[in-house]
Structures are given as C-alpha cells and as structure tokens.
Structure 1
Amino acid sequence: MSDDSKSNLPALSKQVTELVLAGSLGHAEQAFAEAADQYGDLAVVEVLNNIPPQVTALHLAGFDGGKMSLATLLVPAKAWADSLAFFAATWPDDLIEDDPERIAESLFAHIHGVVFSTDDEERRHELLAAASATDHGSTAFAILFSMAPREILEVAGEIISKGPYLTGQTSSDNDVVPLAIALAQASEDGWDRALFELFPEFRHSADLADAEFSDDPDEEPAFLQRSTKELLYRLRKQVPSTRSARSTSRRSVGGGGLFS
C-alpha cells in the first residue's frame, strides 16, 4: 500500500465510523468502494482492522441475507471475530423471550454470509478459526447449532467415526450442516468448544452422538442441551464494554484442523 493511501487511512476510518454510527451504511459502503478504487482492497482491509469492532458489527449487520458488501468480502478474520462479540448488544428481552429462533436465523444469515462470501477455502478457515477461538464466538456457533441439534449430533458422529473422510451427509439438508462441517475442518478446538457450549455433557462417544431426538418440540431432550433462548442470553452477557473492546489486542489467530 502506498504512503499516500496510508496517510489517508485515519481520515477514512473516522469517516466510515461516523457514517455507520449515523446509520448511513450505504454511504459507508460507498466510502469503502471509493477507497478500493483509489488505493486498492488493502486500504479497506486496513480500515476494517482499525475501526472499533462494535462499528464493524453495526456495519456488517446491515448486509445480512446475501446483500453484497465490500466489508463482508474483505473484513479480516480477527476483526470479524472481535465484531461478533457485539451482535447481541441490541437484542431486546421481549424478542429473545418470544421469538428466539428469529434472532438465531438472523445471526445465521450473518455468519453464513461472511464465511461463504467467497470460494476461498483458506479465508473461510481463517474466519472460522478466529471466531471460534473466542468465548463469544463459541456461543454464537452454538446458537446456530441449537436450531438443528439432531443434525449437529449426526455430524459429530460422522467426525468420530470417519475423521478426515467425513462426507457431511446427514438425514437432513439443513443449511447449518455445511457450516458445522466447515468449522470442524477449520478448527478442531473451535468445533469442540461450540459443541460443548450446546451440549455441556457431550463426550466423544458414538453412543451419545447417536442419541435419539424426538420430533415433539415439547419433549425434554435425553441429555442436557442448552436452548436457543438460553444461548442468546449467554451471548448477550458476553458483550464487552467499549473500553475493553478498545484495549483488545489485534493479533492474528490461526487454527489447526481435524483434517490437516
């Protein structure tokens, strides 16, 4: 990146931050696009590395559901992982109580949209490893998995029995399955953390992985499983203060995989 573009980064970061906080996400995207045209994609990457994570969260939340965004395509893995901590900050109690699935689906749209925004497998693994290395990231993935617990346990059973020969085939074509498999391939530790967050009693045993799930939503599960609602509250409790967010170190996070 040229010295000229570096000298403009503070002003661009300030501009984007102010636009996002004012709710002008389209204008923030326009600022990103102009910076990319003038200085290259690295300028956008550097801005996303330097603006507060709560601002990144606000910006990216406006482009869920398949809407194209330069920020979605270029956000660095650690910056995205940090921003995930703030997604629960705006969830009202009544929505968590009355319609937790709606919030979970919105969170899924965001995470799936960022992770699968490109076909770059290395970037996908970096994003998943960075996000799942945090407590809030583990909880966020557990929220998504809570929407399809039967399928998640099928994936767990496949991993236990097949390891690197995992096919990803389950009895359902639920959209959460490809994300779960991608997480397991990106980070063994991240997959385990999310799994234990959803199923606190889970152990790597084929018996538990083959547990039966009733089709009756009112029937108690055979073993301890945190509900979507409980996990949403857990994530909201993990929202950091602005002060602690500013002091968070921005180091890259790598992750080994089950299949590396």
Structure 2
Amino acid sequence: MSDQTRNLPALSKQVTELVLAGSLGHAEQAFADAADQYGDLAVVEVLSSIPPQVTALHMAGFDGGKMSLATLLVPPKAWADSLAFIAATWPDDQIEDDPERIAESLFAHVHGVVFATDDEERRNELLAAASAPDHGATMFAILFSMAPKEILEVAGEIIAKGPYLTGQTSSDNDVVPLAIALAQASEDGWDRALFELFPEFRHSADLADAEFNDDPDEEQNFLQRSTKELLYRLRKQVPSTRVVKTSRRSVGTGIFS
C-alpha cells in the first residue's frame, strides 16, 4: 500500500474537520501540502471522498477572485453534489433583503469553477454534471434571472443557429458566455434551466419568440420567476443530512441537522 493510499483517509478527515471549524485557509493549505507531496490526483481523490456539504462550505469561501486548488481540481460529480448544499451557506435574512447580492456571489462561484482553466472538455463535464439534477436547474435559473432579456436573446440565437451557435450576441452581460457554454455542454441542462426561469414555456422555440418588456414598472406578458423566488426554491432543495455540529451558525440555522 502506497503512502498516498494510506494517508488519504486521514487527509479527508483533516480537511472535513478544518472546514467545519471554519478554517478554510488551513484546509486549503492541507490540499496544497498534499498536492506537493503526492500530486494533484491526491486532492482530486479527497474532494471525491469528503461529504458534499463539506465541499460546499469550503468552496463557498472562494469566489472568482480567490483561486483555490478545490476550484481547479474538484471532480465534476463532486462539485455537482456540493451545489445541492450551497444554499445552506447563505445567511438566513439575505435571501429576503438582498437576493441580487447572493445571485452575484453564486455567479462568481460557478463562473470561477467553470472557467478556472482553458480545458474545454473539463468545462463541458462540469456544466453537464452541475445542470443534471433538479437543484442544478434551479441554480442556473438563479444566474439567468439576473439577465432575463439577454437569456431570451440567447434562446433565440440557439433556435436560429443550433449547433452553429458562435457565442456572439448583442449583449456583453457576463451571464451570456456562461449560458452559451451551458447550452453547448448540455442541451437538456440548458432547457431545464430555461424552463425553471420561465415556467409557462415548454418549447424553446416559443420562448425564443417571447418579447421582453424593458419597462420595470410593467409586468411581463409571460411568467418569469424572480431571483428571490428561485433562491427560496433552491433553499428548499437542500438535502437533509447530519454533520458534526459546529459553532459556525452563520451558514444557516440548523440547515444541516
């Protein structure tokens, strides 16, 4: 048995305890030490073995401006599983008081992981895995709710150009490249996120013909879920599980119990 094989369970336990104690910097250092000693695959193995709610807590501490080994190396399935718990890391009152800030933070997280490297194959695997479960469709709908007009435009481009979609639209909104990347990585994931945001529509072609009203004081002529509503929907999708109790109550009162 190699040293790496013997030490991985201990490293997984160490990282889990550090994250639950709120010591994200020390957990990241443990990853760095393991990578130096055993290689990146050791970090990949640990990220595959620790509970997804622990991965969610760890990665929630790193947005697009804070690179981490977990961001670079998290396996697609492990990341997708962790996203089921990310809503539990939000302060209880922030969904109500500042939903846009949470959505922007979530976007920074997703964008940071998906575009951490130039590896297109990894990007497609991450997007396909993340968008496959129900919580993934809700999560992407939250991101798209920040730019609904632009998302409708992308839907129209996809219907018009199909596999020949170039990624060029009239919008420079940061959400657009992520939306196009999702559509290219997973047609099913794109459709499910789209219909989570616009629940009245069941056909992309119909949605592409919908006209977005630019007047914020007037209601849209079709149903669109708000960012706040989608955040609450994702919060309700957090699985119930038991982890070691910690003093870090700010991540959501009793959400993991």
Match of 1:186 in 2: 185
1:93, CA displacement in angstroms?
Answer: 4.4
> Superposition pairs for residues 16-27 of structure 1, below 5 Å?
16-27=15-26
Determine the structure 1 residue equivalent to 2:135: 136
Q: For 2:93, what is the secondary structure of its paired residue? A: helix
Write the mapping of 1:31-70 to structure 2, written as runs, cut at 5 A.
31-70=30-69
Is the CA contact 1:156–1:209 (under 8 Å) kept in the aligned structure 2? yes
- Report the Cα offset of residue 95 of structure 1: 1.6
2:157 is equivalent to residue 176 of structure 1: no
Supply the distance in 1 between the matched residues of 2:194 and 2:233 (Cα, whole angstroms). Answer: 15
1:156-212: per-residue Cα shift (whole Å, max 9, x none)?
A: 111111001112222310000000010011111111110110011224354531322
Whether 1:198 and 2:197 are equivalent positions in the alignment is yes
Q: What are the residue-to-residue correspondences of 1:1-260 with 2, within 5 Å?
A: 3-204=2-203, 206=205, 208-242=207-241
Rounded to whole Å, the distance in 2 between the matches of 1:101 and 1:108 is 10
Question: Identity across aligned pairs (percent)?
Answer: 90
What residue number does 2:246 align with?
none
Quote the Cα distance in structure 2 between the aligned partners of 1:194 and 1:59: 25
Residue 216 of structure 1 deviates from its aligned partner by 2.3
Q: Which moved more, 1:10-19 or 1:59-68?
A: 59-68
Q: CA–CA distance in 2 between the matches of 1:232 and 1:179? A: 19
Q: CA deviation at 1:79?
A: 0.3
Which 5+ residue runs of structure 2 have no aligned equivalent? 244-257
Which residue identity does 1:88 align to in structure 2? Answer: A
Contact 1:154-1:210 at 8 Å conserved across structures: no
1:250 is matched with which residue?
none
Q: CA RMSD in A?
A: 1.5
Structure 2: distance between partners of 1:87 and 1:217: 30
Please tell me whether the aligned partners of residues 60 and 89 of structure 2 are also in contact (alpha carbons under 8 angstroms).
no
In the TM superposition, residue 46 of structure 1 has moved relative to its aligned partner by 0.4
Which stretch shifts more, 205-214 or 164-173?
A: 205-214
Contact 1:160 1:204 in 2 (8 A): no
Displacement, 1:214? 2.2
Structure 2 counterpart SS, 1:242: coil
TM-score between the two structures when normalised by the length of structure 1: 0.90
Q: Which consecutive residues of structure 1, in runs of 5 or more, have no partner in the other structure?
A: 245-260
- How many matched pairs? 243
- Letter in structure 2 aligned against 1:123: R
CA distance in 2, matches of 1:156, 1:46: 37
The 3 A distance-change label for structure 1 pair 205 and 108 is: closer
Q: 2: distance between equivalents of 1:11 and 1:205?
A: 49
